[in-house]
Amino acid sequence: MVEKVESMESSEITEPDNLHAGISGASTEHYDADQIKVLEGLEAVQKRPAMYIGSTGPDGLHHLVYEVVDNSVDEHMAGFGKEINVTIQLDGSVVVSDNGRGIPTGMHSTQKKSAAEVALTVLHAGGKFEEGAYTVSGGLHGVGISVVNALSEWLELEIWQNGQVFEQRYLRGIPVSALNVTGKSQKRGTKITFMADPQIFETVEFSFDVLARRLRELAFLNKGLAINLVDQRNGKEKEQAFCYEGGIVSFVEHLNEAKTPIHKPIVIETEKPEMILEVALQFNVGYAENLFSFANNINTREGGTHLIGFKAALTRTINSYATANDLLKKEVESLTGDDVREGLTAVISVKVRNPQFEGQTKAKLGNSEVKGVVESAVNEALGSYFEENPAVAKKIVGKAIDASRAREAARKAKDLIRRKGALDGGSLPGKLADCSEKDPALSELFIVEGDSAGGSAKQGRDRKFQAILPLKGKILNVEKARFDKMLSSEEIRTLIMALGTGIGRRREESETGKVDKEVFDINRARYHKIILMTDADVDGSHIRTLLLTFLFRQMHELLENGYIYIAQPPLYKVKKGKSEQYLKDDNALNEYLSALAVEDVEVFVERDQAFVTQAELLPLLKSLIAFEDLLNRFGRKQFEAGILRAFGDQQTLNRDLLKNRTQLDAVIVEVKEALGKAYPQSRITIEVGEDEEHNTHTVHCRIPTNGMIHTLTLTHDLVGSADFRELQKLSPSAMGLGQPPYKMRAKEIESEFATSDELVQAILATGKKGLSFQRYKGLGEMNPGQLWDTTMNPETRALLQVKLEDMTGVDEIFTILMGDEVEPRRNFIQHHALEVRNLDV
Amino acid sequence: MKCPICKESVIWENNPARPFCSTRCRLLDLDGWLQERYGVPLDEGNFEYDESLEIPDNQ
């Protein structure tokens, strides 16, 4: 059994540990059992894996590989081993091998087993406790190879050392045998093969791309280290090799690949007794700031003292160069950190002896001594670079001045809000009907379009936890013949105040000069459910698009935290006798009517030569309704639905048939017959043309009716489209109804229909008998009680949560809608009117 | 995706200004909202409301 151990405190995860010996001055070829110190064991890991590797999802799974690779990287940093191979094997297991010194194989001085076994079975056993090592530790890295062992269904260890080969196998962390010598080899290094435990992980499927991203990063950070990734799954082998002689300079060049740099990368390298610093930076013509910081190879996503030191030095050096050379214009007093970082791509990598990681995800470097060292090193190096390269220095200062001016435009915006006190959320807007609940997690805000609906909502709500904010769109004539719907700045301000988060940035004095501080703070959000409730019409969808776009762009964290919802008011109320029912949309209505209709109606199925009804008819009817819906969608793409209906009903029509003239002619005869029934008064022309590009035919159909000419050209593309195939699948002939006329029987009366559309309408009309409908055109048509019942009551309502990934689409719609280019906008509105309205994000 | 203001491509990770490429562009956008520069056109002819799906009251 695995040794019993004391339970671990989470803070102990940040304790350094590792297998390999220290580097730098303390580096030694003598790397043996005594260096391993024993701290803890494994059962705790299996009980609470997330505490050690972050999660049991894909992130935690991939972490296993990083953990093993980190050990090999440390060995490389210590000066041993130049190559690491990572292979995902056919069975899903992963092999990591290096050509370092190999994990020590001698007997451990206090435990009666090999040092390697101690490293694999005891938590926090590792050479890195020794003085003088730049260790990977803290964060989630550096938890130790024993954690990987504990979380593997099986693990195989192979060590090549002193001419011998050692092997040992483990099952769920328990050694199957002792570490045995199994052969001879002149190789040197360690190979670990493991199969992640499917009883612990939600998935044990490794992603090539995820591993590749991290391994590439490691190769960038460790100049000259070769890391190869091989994937043997999926039949064919996939391989990527990472090795960068340029180190982080290559990293910066890689990040700037698609951009236009304004100078060659600037490199700063310093080695101090307490740390090693490497910086590479390069400005490009864009505006984005793209900073990556690492401490002991760990991506410090939340930054930390190294990043603070770098930023401070950059701001100071650029400002003092600008002042000394009289480059600042009158209107620009001094350049802020944001100004000087516009268009900057930089990688900052430090290696420190005892890194302390802080923050929620342990991704922030906390060592206070680091800031000063980084700051003075960067100040000095950058200062002399500027002196030697005045042309580059002037370009960088010029960019920062432009940035400062652009910011000025935005300042006006900030002032507008600040005057009203909205920044602090201190005072609440008068229009807001707040709830009495003070806990944001339990509070809901309904943003309601229009005053009358706002009134109903106020009366219908549960005032304990539901707040109401009525908002109105404003209509503005922006140019001749174009009226725009917009949110007034007053409405935007009201919204910001009600939400309580604040917005934008505020300039503050600090030790490094003036800095802009982020004002938006999700922790101050007053509601964790923010529900948009707008009418189900074009106007309503416009307001919703505007609101969503604003929230997405300026308060993306609300979306990322899942605070934004869309209310789903019903579109219909149906009354049958005394019972009332609300129906969400047209689909729900059609389903409701279908269910009623099939009780009274029979439809003739040619294939079976019989009438069907009720349960048998229902799926058939559903398919026919879907067929008509799809035709309608085609209609919006300006295909003639009436003609397409006849072609879509032909099961044999495909790209091959379109090439074969004889078969095509036979289909055309049938289509013509069907169209003859649908358009009895018209002369139908169908002509076949040549399509040389695809070596096939095109079919032109033309039907004049009262003053209108319907045309449709059937092409290679149209016939091959997924929509067309779907159409065929749903068509009446696919349902066995055969060709028109279609026969229906209701209450002993038989009738015939020339098109499936007419048939569907007739069936649904039967369902409507004895019903009364109300279509809600706006929320205002519902009384407070109805609004509560259908849309606001948490017990009965349906809310749509808006996901971040939905929003890129919304922003795109918005960008096109408000764009200045008339043509794309008109096309868009014509093609997407339905989507915009229903914006079922 | 592309930055809504300058149309440069946007890096999502490590970018507090997302969905913009930079804080500069985000602030310019905020300026746009407060100066009422953003509107969605109300009518451009073809905003048919799909009355075909309308069901007449059967009262």
pLDDT surpassing 50 at residue B53: no
**Mean pLDDT computed over every residue of chain A:** 84
pLDDT digits (tens, 9 = 90+) for A523-566: 989 999 999 998 877 778 788 888 988 998 899 899 888 999 99
Chain A residues touching B31 at Cβ < 8 A = 409-410, 412-413
CA distance B53 to chain A (A): 8
Q: In what helix (H) or strand (E) does residue A171 lie, and over which residues does it extend? A: strand A164-171
Chain B residues touching A485 at Cβ < 8 A = 39-42
Average pLDDT over residues A756-762: 93
pLDDT digits (tens, 9 = 90+) for A581-592: 888 888 888 999
Determine phi and psi for A611, rounding to 5 degrees: -80, 140
CB B46 to CB A830 under 8 A? Answer: yes
| Total beta-carbon pairs less than 8 A apart between chain A and chain B | 173
Q: Please name the residue of chain A whose CA is at the shortest distance from the CA of residue B57.
A: A773
pLDDT digits (tens, 9 = 90+) for A716-734: 999 988 889 999 999 999 9
By C-alpha distance, which of A138, A63, A206 is closest to A361?
A: A138
d(CA A514, CA A507): 6
CB B19 to CB A553 under 8 A? Answer: yes
Under DSSP, is residue A229 helix (H, G, I), strand (E, B) or coil? strand
pLDDT surpassing 80 at residue A744: yes
- Give pLDDT, residue A637: 65
pLDDT digits (tens, 9 = 90+) for A471-490: 988 887 766 566 778 888 88
What's the residue count for chain B? Answer: 59
B51 touches chain A (CB under 8 A): no
Distances (CA, A) of A606 to A609, A649, A667: 5, 14, 19
Return the residue matching tokens 């101690």.
A118
HSE value, Cβ hemisphere, 13 Å, CA-based, for A444: 20
Lowest mean pLDDT among A499-513, A675-689, B2-16: A499-513
d(CA A617, CA A599): 9
Interior angle at CA A87, CA A83 and CA A90, nearest 5: 165
pLDDT surpassing 50 at residue A5: no
Which residue did the predictor score with more confidence, A506 or A742? A742
pLDDT surpassing 90 at residue A28: no
Q: Is B58 left (phi over 0), alpha (psi -120 to 50) or beta?
A: alpha
Confidence label for A184 from pLDDT (cuts 50, 70 and 90): very high
By C-alpha distance, which of B1, B3, B6, B25 is closest to A808?
A: B1
Cβ atoms A714, A647 nearer than 8 A: yes
- Give pLDDT, residue A620: 93
CB B6 to CB A287 under 8 A? Answer: yes
Lowest mean pLDDT among A57-61, A163-167, A823-827: A823-827
What is the 8-class DSSP label of residue A788? I
CB B55 to CB A545 under 8 A? Answer: no
pLDDT surpassing 50 at residue A291: yes
CB A410 to CB B28 under 8 A? Answer: yes
Mutate which of B26, B40, B42, B44 to disrupt the A interface (most A C-beta within 10 Å)?
A: B40
- Give pLDDT, residue A19: 43
Confidence label for A131 from pLDDT (cuts 50, 70 and 90): very low
Average pLDDT over residues A3-13: 37
What's the first-to-final CA gap in chain B, in angstroms?
51
Cβ atoms A472, A450 nearer than 8 A: yes
By C-alpha distance, which of A795, A760, A808 is closest to A627?
A: A760
- Give pLDDT, residue A660: 94
d(CA A52, CA A143): 7
d(CA A271, CA A805): 44
Q: Is A247 left (phi over 0), alpha (psi -120 to 50) or beta?
A: left
- Give pLDDT, residue A513: 57
pTM over 0.80: no
By C-alpha distance, which of A171, A168, A231 is closest to A199?
A: A171
Average pLDDT over residues A82-95: 95
CB A338 to CB B49 under 8 A? Answer: no
Chain B residues touching A542 at Cβ < 8 A = 40, 42
- Give pLDDT, residue A287: 83
Average pLDDT over residues A368-374: 94
Confidence label for B37 from pLDDT (cuts 50, 70 and 90): confident
Please, which residues 336-355 of chain A have a Cβ atom closer than 8 Å to chain B? Answer: 338, 342
Chain B residues touching A338 at Cβ < 8 A = 23-24
By C-alpha distance, which of A655, A649, A685 is closest to A670?
A: A649
Confidence label for B2 from pLDDT (cuts 50, 70 and 90): confident
A287 touches chain B (CB under 8 A): yes
**Mutual orientation of helices A586-597 and A756-768 as an angle, nearest 10°?**
80
Q: In what helix (H) or strand (E) does residue A641 lie, and over which residues does it extend? A: helix A641-648
Count CB-CB contacts under 10 A for residue A26.
12
Please, which residues 23-42 of chain B have a Cβ atom closer than 8 Å to chain A? Answer: 23-31, 33-36, 38-42
Average pLDDT over residues A21-28: 38
- Give pLDDT, residue B48: 38
- Give pLDDT, residue A127: 46
d(CA A629, CA A693): 32
d(CA A79, CA A670): 80
**Which residue of B14, B26, B34 is in closest CB contact with A492?**
B34
Under DSSP, is residue A383 helix (H, G, I), strand (E, B) or coil? helix
Q: Please name the residue of chain A whose CA is at the shortest distance from the CA of residue B34.
A: A489
Task: Point out the residues of A that are catalytic.
Answer: 449, 535, 537, 539
Q: Copy the structure tokens of residue A70.
A: 């980190």
Rounding to the nearest 10 degrees, give the CA dihedral for residues A454, A455, A459, A463.
Answer: 50
Chain B residues touching A304 at Cβ < 8 A = none
Confidence label for A623 from pLDDT (cuts 50, 70 and 90): very high
Chain A residues touching B7 at Cβ < 8 A = none
Mutate which of A59, A283, A289, A825 to disrupt the B interface (most B C-beta within 10 Å)?
A: A289
Confidence label for A128 from pLDDT (cuts 50, 70 and 90): very low
CB A485 to CB B40 under 8 A? Answer: yes
Determine phi and psi for A747, rounding to 5 degrees: 50, 50
Average pLDDT over residues A197-204: 94
Q: Please name the residue of chain B whose CA is at the shortest distance from the CA of residue A258.
A: B9
pLDDT surpassing 60 at residue A456: yes
- Give pLDDT, residue A638: 67
CB A409 to CB B28 under 8 A? Answer: yes
A59 touches chain B (CB under 8 A): no
Percent share of chain A, pLDDT over 70: 83
| Residues β-bridged to residue A266 | A281
- Give pLDDT, residue A130: 43
pLDDT surpassing 70 at residue A9: no
A670 touches chain B (CB under 8 A): no
Please, which residues 515-574 of chain A have a Cβ atom closer than 8 Å to chain B? Answer: 516, 518, 537-539, 542, 545-546, 549-550, 552-554, 556, 572
d(CA A783, CA A766): 30
- Give pLDDT, residue A740: 87
CB B47 to CB A504 under 8 A? Answer: no
A285 touches chain B (CB under 8 A): no
By C-alpha distance, which of A253, A317, A261, A301 is closest to A284?
A: A261
CB B44 to CB A482 under 8 A? Answer: yes
Please, which residues 588-647 of chain A have a Cβ atom closer than 8 Å to chain B? Answer: 589, 632
Return the residue matching tokens 């169209």.
A675
- Give pLDDT, residue B56: 40
**Which residue of B25, B46, B59 is in closest CB contact with A287?**
B25
Average pLDDT over residues A305-323: 95
d(CA A388, CA A393): 9
CB B34 to CB A416 under 8 A? Answer: yes
Cβ atoms A773, A573 nearer than 8 A: yes
ipTM score assigned to the predicted complex: 0.81
What sign results for the dihedral spanned by CA atoms A768, A770, A776, A777? positive
Confidence label for A91 from pLDDT (cuts 50, 70 and 90): very high
- Give pLDDT, residue A235: 75
B12 touches chain A (CB under 8 A): no
d(CA A188, CA A391): 51
Contacts of A707 (CB under 8 A, 6+ apart): none
Chain B residues touching A554 at Cβ < 8 A = 26, 29-30, 33
Mutate which of B7, B21, B23, B35 to disrupt the A interface (most A C-beta within 10 Å)?
A: B23
- Give pLDDT, residue A497: 86
CA distance A821 to chain B (A): 12
Chain A residues touching B48 at Cβ < 8 A = 833
Q: Copy the structure tokens of residue A598.
A: 């099939």
Q: Copy the structure tokens of residue A54.
A: 């972050």
**Which residue of A288, A476, A825 is in closest CB contact with B21?**
A288
pLDDT surpassing 50 at residue B50: no
pLDDT surpassing 70 at residue A612: yes
Count CB-CB contacts under 10 A for residue B15.
17
Chain B residues touching A807 at Cβ < 8 A = 19
- Give pLDDT, residue A331: 67
- Give pLDDT, residue A636: 65
pLDDT surpassing 50 at residue A25: no
- Give pLDDT, residue A289: 87
pLDDT digits (tens, 9 = 90+) for A383-412: 999 999 999 999 999 889 888 877 776 676
Q: Is residue A820 packed enough to be buried (19+ CB in 10 Å), middle (13-18) or exposed (0-12)?
A: exposed
Please, which residues 452-471 of chain A have a Cβ atom closer than 8 Å to chain B? Answer: none
pLDDT surpassing 60 at residue A675: yes
**Which residue of A291, A412, A818 is in closest CB contact with B31?**
A412
- Give pLDDT, residue B32: 82
d(CA A331, CA A333): 6
- Give pLDDT, residue A516: 64
CA distance B19 to chain A (A): 6
- Give pLDDT, residue A685: 93
CB A410 to CB B4 under 8 A? Answer: no
Outline where DSSP puts E strands in A232-315. Answer: 238-242, 266-272, 275-283, 290-295, 298-299
